[in-house]
Amino acid sequence: MEIKAWNFVLFSCLVVSFLASSSSAQTCVSQTFSNDRQYANCTDLPALNSYLHWTYNESAGTVEIAFRHTGTSSSQWSAWGINPSGPRMVGTQALVAFVNSSGVAQAFTTSIDSLAPSMQQMDLSFPVPSLSATFERNEMTIIAVLRISQNLLATSQVWQEGRVSNGQIQPHSTTGANVQSAGSINFLTGASRGSSSAGSRTRRRNVHGVLNTVSWGILMPLGAITARYMKVFKSADPAWFYLHVACQSSAYVVGVAGWATGIKLGSDSPGVTYNPHRTIGIILFCFGTLQVFALLLRPNKDHKYRLYWNIYHHLIGYSVIILSIVNIFEGFDILNPDDKWERIYIGILIFLGVLATFLEAFTWYVVIMRKKTNKQPHTMNGANGHGYGATAMGQRV
């Protein structure tokens, strides 16, 4: 019965998922426009709740387009454009729309020539005979006619959104869906897809986040817990040391891989910087490397410098753990993943905190009881025939 119930639940989830995906894939087909405008092709763009409709007129050499951005507001701007040089911001010939101070949707053309464009009205590299915009029911629609050459019929497309403040267009966000809003378009065949480079960059960002969360954010604290609490038990010596080294070494190797991925992402994204996240990441790499070298220079237990080495080792180690947790949450803000992933990591931290609290209390109890046992007067027990000497003699006999 239980297996059948689970099969039914699984089947139901698959059906619901299929229906949901089918309906979402057909969203643009059900959209309508004023003046009964009709378009031959449409596509649901993969980010920012956006849709593109178009009709290619071969004899006139024009493309009629309607770009619709849903779920927006009057305090945001919307833009769509094509970029012959690839699916990226710089080089985009853009159509921009926003609601002006009079409450009317206004559209203009601009060429994105840098990572910090002026967003002022200017002509594009091709004529735009007609351009207008409408805003109603939290939907911005840009209507335009583009006169483009044959070599632009298959090209890259970019779309974007951002805030409007005091009538001025503000820079868009550089996280989440705002860095995934690029792809390709073929006005002739109707083919459209998301950017493979944007998808690859997103995968690398996710890999970077996973590697660093597992290494710096989970393995490092586990290694510290192992060293602090296992060494209290004499039977765990020297196993605790090897476990500690294995845990921290694995964390360092995986963490360096995550750090290197972040450096590569930064070099591939000029003009996009996350200064606090980057700075903390570099500090973590330096501290982690210092800990590795400190292990190689670790003095013997009876060495006169061992106390200073211990202080240094603990300070750097706990600093790494604290900075790691801070930087992981910085990363969550940047990647903007589903809330469940942040909740999962918070749950892991709570578990580690509860575990450390329990072990702290238990090991203190063990240490206190051990001291009390060691302070018992051996001579009196020996005189009564129950002391260590009597026991030893009995064993020898």
Binding-site residue numbers for heme b are: 208, 244, 277, 313
Count of CB atoms within 10 A of residue 128's CB? 18
From residue 249, alpha-carbon distances to 222, 252, 293 in Å are 12, 5, 11
Which residue(s) pair with 386 in the sheet?
none
140 HSE (CA, 13 A, CB side): 30
Q: Read out DSSP for 258-275?
A: HHHHHHHHHHHSTT---H
Q: What is the 3-state secondary structure (H, E, C) of 54-92?
A: EEEECCCCEEEEEEEEECCCCCEEEEEEEECCCCCCCCC
Q: Nearest-CA neighbor of 68 among 15, 121, 30, 125?
A: 30
Q: Read out DSSP for 174-188?
A: -SGGGGS-EEEEETT
Six-digit token string for 265: 């992402």
Q: Which residues are annotated as a binding site?
A: 208, 244, 277, 313
Rounded distance, CA 327 to CA 220, Å? 14
Q: Find the length of the chain.
A: 397
> Do residues 54 and 63 make contact, with C-beta atoms less than 8 angstroms apart?
yes
Q: Which residues are within 8 A (CB) of 176 and not within 5 positions of it... i.e. 6 or more apart? A: 335, 336
Six-digit token string for 46: 């993969």
The position carrying tokens 């967003």 is 119
Rounded distance, CA 63 to CA 186, Å? 11
Distance of alpha carbon 339 from its chain centroid, rounded?
A: 11
